[in-house]
Amino acid sequence: MSVLAVTSRERGDRVVLEAAGRADEHGGDLHVLYVLDLGWFARLELGLAERVGIPVGRGVIEGVCARIADGAARDLVDEYEAVGRVGDPVTEAVTYADRIGARCVVVDGQSAPWSDRSVLEAGVHGIPVVPVY
């Protein structure tokens, strides 16, 4: 079974290491996800469109997010899949975790929305959420 690491810019390395350990322990694959929320997406897309002079689009921004996820993992683990998404971080994590059949989701417990205890306690569709501090 897979383990999903939902990275942040602040503690992405800790999240990846915890998730990699759990994936190794259970013989599963490691997936590293970075989600840019819609507010940031709108500002980033507008800023890039103004600089480049053409609309950038969601696919380009998701590519940037995948590179951020890759940057969190590349020096720490050998095998992983880096993924970028745009949207509500919890919704995107739930959707992706369901899609890959994740055994658990490891998150930065100090960054929003994961710092909200109700999100951590509810889990993700019955999948345990493991906060890293």
Domain of residue 24, CATH code: 3.40.50.620
- Strand 81-86: give its sheet, edge to edge: 81-86, 30-36, 2-6, 102-108, 129-132
The pLDDT value given to residue 99: 94
pLDDT at 110: 87
Decide: residue 10, CB within 10 A, 0-12 exposed, 13-18 middle, 19+ buried: exposed
Q: What is the pTM of this model?
A: 0.86
What three-state secondary structure class fits 7? coil
Per-residue pLDDT of the chain (133 residues; tens, 9 = 90+): 899 999 988 889 999 999 999 999 999 999 999 998 876 655 666 666 677 766 667 788 899 899 999 999 999 999 999 999 999 888 899 899 999 999 999 999 888 777 776 566 556 567 888 999 8
pLDDT value, residue 69: 97
Collect all residues with Cβ–Cβ distance below 8 Å to 97 and sequence separation of at least 6: 4, 105, 124, 125, 127
Question: Residue 27 sits in which domain range?
Answer: 2-132
What is the number of structural domains in the chain? 1
